[in-house]
Chains A and B, each alone.
Chain A
Amino acid sequence: MVWSMSESDEGKHEIEIRIHSRGGQGGVTAAKMLAVAASLEGKYSTAFSIYGAERRGSPTASFTRISNREIRKYSQIRKPDCVIVMDPTIASVVDVTEGLKPGGKLLINVGNNSMDLERFRDYEVYAVDATRVSLRFDLKVAGIPVLNVPMVGAAAKLGIISLDSAKQAILKVLGGGSVVISLARYAGTTALDGTESLPSTLRKNLMAAELAYKETKRLNGSG
């Protein structure tokens, strides 16, 4: 399931992800969670964002680079291998597939809108209603459904990271204090049935990630 990133295959040893969201939905944190998840799997990773005039509700982009070797690129990601669209309304105002490599992976939160996904047929398209998942577990900040956790869970369907490391990363990023990567603070508590001792908000987030993962469907091609 996990993309192969062999040293000999120069073009493949790196995965570049772009995340589209609106300010307040947790795009930067999603990029961080993906990077931490990859890091937990022993890979190199960086997460960053385009900084400028962000404000609540405006379209923003965040990025994650994952590699088998030290990441030395500090330039922006212009040709991502994977695009994650967190907000269902953003695809109508932003060209979300700009630069996406042919055959690249596209994960869309379709929400409850009927979205024309036919225009994305050149890509491997995955769809999930992350907004519903977020609302079901009441993952709201200032009244806005936070979409990063369900989308990170859904991203595990794409094979970039495993669901287990996605959940560990969610725990580490939301757990408060420092994000300690390899000191297994929550070791053995990643499966849902072992999490009774966790605060209920963390448990809800893990359940949301798992549900979003289960509900993510690949819309075209095989696998």
Chain B
Amino acid sequence: MRGMQEEEVFVTGNEAVARAVKLAKPNVIAAYPITPQTEIVEVLARYVESGELKSEYIHVESEHSAMAACIGAASMGARVFTATSSHGFLYMCEMIFWASIARLPIVMANVNRALGPGWNIWADLKDAMSHRDAGWIQFYTASVQEAYDTTLMAFRIAEDRRVMLPTMVNLEGFVLSHVMQPLRLVNEAEYDKFLPPVRIPHALNFERPHTLGTLISPEHNYLVQYDHNRCMRAADDVIAEVEREFERMSGRRYGAVMKYRCDDAETLVIAMGTLAKEAEVACDSLREKGEKIGVLRLRQLRPFPKAFLEEVKRLTAERFIIIDRAYSSGYGGILAEEVKAKLYDLGLKKEVKSIIAGLGGQDVPHEALEKMFMDKRGGEVWFGV
């Protein structure tokens, strides 16, 4: 049974994100609506309209402009937020890379949705995974509470002087964006202490004029990229630090990876988002049947967490099952291929099975996962094929 909580509301994943953004009090919100994200920017627009949130809300004519406005505002030192999904995400592609290379700590919620054609509004990670290499910090959440908490932490992580990188909080369309769950709220005064005022060191400044985004030669461009990667890697430790502080404030503990019944597992399921939670249910059922199986949920894809490597080194499972809700056509499940590469780095030879499931909102019940986990064949399996 749940303990009764002082401040608990019953909301969708989308509203949870909007509530977190409200606490962060961004100076600027620039966004364009798209299903299934629309509720986030609608709720925020309502907060701004009612005066509860004093942000500059910029109504733009496209997602490309939304991110461009975010870049402009952040370049002036503002805290900014936007939200998008699917085709809207891809439409802002050019600006997504710009935001990252310009080292602007923009926070964006991305409600994961498939790409057309045919038109499909349901959950799929391809929108975010196609921008895996865009240089944004990427989180993948698995409950309404986690979407809220991660958004709260995202501002602090993005704006950390050692990081200064845009940060993306992913939640899967409908299965998470539209599901209603109880949400424990963070106290505003405590959050104000947790999140210091934004200070972007390279922001434009009339007192000390400088230029951003001018032509740079081959002698300098690689240094920009080198430095970007250095800070992205440093972000891994900063994130862990922020999560510890968040735990002190809220009592809720996360991590770059979250383990479920992994310690004595012979089979390790690796997944992200809600499919990892569904896999936990399958895991419980298999445990009752004597199978030693556990679930390792990756919450943070970029920077790829050191914690994942440490766990994989420490755990004794010999069989890995990796679930992907996004596919690199002509290559493989994106997470599966990343994990396999890391196993090579670690000098570990494991039996690997790749499950492609949940594409375009495909319903993946735990009973089906259980069957696929028990199927001892390796290689790649497409659920439903």
Chain B residues lying within 8 Å of A74, measured Cβ to Cβ, are: 172, 175-176, 179, 274-275, 277-278
The reply to whether B9 and A181 contact each other, CB–CB distance below 8 Å, is yes
B4 nearest CB neighbor, chain A only:
A182
Question: Is residue B382 within 8 Å, beta carbon to beta carbon, of the partner chain?
Answer: no
Q: Which of A39-47, A82-90, A149-157, A206-214 contacts B (4 or more CB under 8 A)?
A: A39-47
Question: Is residue B365 within 8 Å, beta carbon to beta carbon, of the partner chain?
Answer: yes
The reply to whether A72 and B9 contact each other, CB–CB distance below 8 Å, is no
Instruction: Please pick, from A31, A49, A72, the residue contacting B278 in the complex, using a CB distance under 8 A.
Output: A72
The reply to whether B366 and A75 contact each other, CB–CB distance below 8 Å, is yes
Contacts A35-B10, A179-B11 given; does A72 touch B281 at CB 8 Å: yes
Contacts A74-B278, A75-B366, A76-B365 given; does A35 touch B9 at CB 8 Å: no
Which residues, 161 to 183 on B, are CB-close (under 8 Å) to A?
172, 174-176, 178-182
B175 nearest CB neighbor, chain A only:
A74
The reply to whether B121 and A47 contact each other, CB–CB distance below 8 Å, is no
Contacts A10-B288, A72-B280, A75-B366 given; does A48 touch B9 at CB 8 Å: no
Interface footprint category on B: 20 to 34
Interface footprint category on A: 20 to 34
Chain A residues lying within 8 Å of B175, measured Cβ to Cβ, are: 48, 74
A41 nearest CB neighbor, chain B only:
B1
The reply to whether B180 and A48 contact each other, CB–CB distance below 8 Å, is yes
Question: Is residue A162 within 8 Å, beta carbon to beta carbon, of the partner chain?
Answer: no
The reply to whether A51 and B6 contact each other, CB–CB distance below 8 Å, is no
Chain A residues lying within 8 Å of B381, measured Cβ to Cβ, are: none
Taking the nearest CB of chain B, how far is it from the CB of A76, in angstroms?
A: 5
Instruction: Please pick, from A48, A179, A180, the residue contacting B179 in the complex, using a CB distance under 8 A.
Output: A48
Contacts A42-B2, A78-B365 given; does A180 touch B9 at CB 8 Å: yes
Contacts A43-B1, A43-B2 given; does A178 touch B278 at CB 8 Å: no
Which residues, 152 to 189 on A, are CB-close (under 8 Å) to B?
172, 178-183
Chain A residues lying within 8 Å of B2, measured Cβ to Cβ, are: 39, 42-44
The reply to whether A178 and B180 contact each other, CB–CB distance below 8 Å, is no
Question: Is residue A195 within 8 Å, beta carbon to beta carbon, of the partner chain?
Answer: no
Instruction: Please pick, from A32, A45, A73, A178, the residue contacting B366 in the complex, using a CB distance under 8 A.
Output: A73
Contact with A along B175-209 (1 / 0, CB 8 A): 11011111000000000000000000000000000
- CA–CA, A78 to B280, complex, Å? 19
Chain A residues lying within 8 Å of B10, measured Cβ to Cβ, are: 32, 35-36, 39, 172, 179, 181
Chain A residues lying within 8 Å of B181, measured Cβ to Cβ, are: 45-46, 71
Taking the nearest CB of chain B, how far is it from the CB of A187, in angstroms?
A: 12
- CA–CA, A42 to B172, complex, Å? 27
Taking the nearest CB of chain A, how far is it from the CB of B43, in angstroms?
A: 11
Taking the nearest CB of chain A, how far is it from the CB of B261, in angstroms?
A: 12
Contacts A42-B1, A74-B277 given; does A182 touch B180 at CB 8 Å: no
Extra contacts besides A49-B178, A68-B1 (4): CB < 8 Å = A45-B181, A74-B274, A75-B363, A182-B8
Cβ-closest 10 pairs across A and B: A74-B274, A72-B277, A75-B365, A179-B10, A47-B180, A48-B179, A181-B8, A74-B175, A182-B4, A42-B1
14 residue pairs from A and B, CB less than 8 Å apart: A39-B10, A44-B2, A46-B179, A48-B179, A51-B122, A68-B1, A71-B181, A72-B281, A73-B277, A73-B278, A73-B281, A74-B176, A74-B275, A178-B11
Instruction: Write the residues of chain B forming the contact surface with A, with a CB cutoff of 8 angstroms.
Output: 1-11, 36, 121-122, 172, 174-176, 178-182, 274-275, 277-278, 280-281, 288, 363-366
Instruction: Write the residues of chain A forming the contact surface with B, with a CB cutoff of 8 angstroms.
Output: 10, 31-32, 35-36, 39, 42-49, 51, 68, 71-76, 78, 172, 178-183
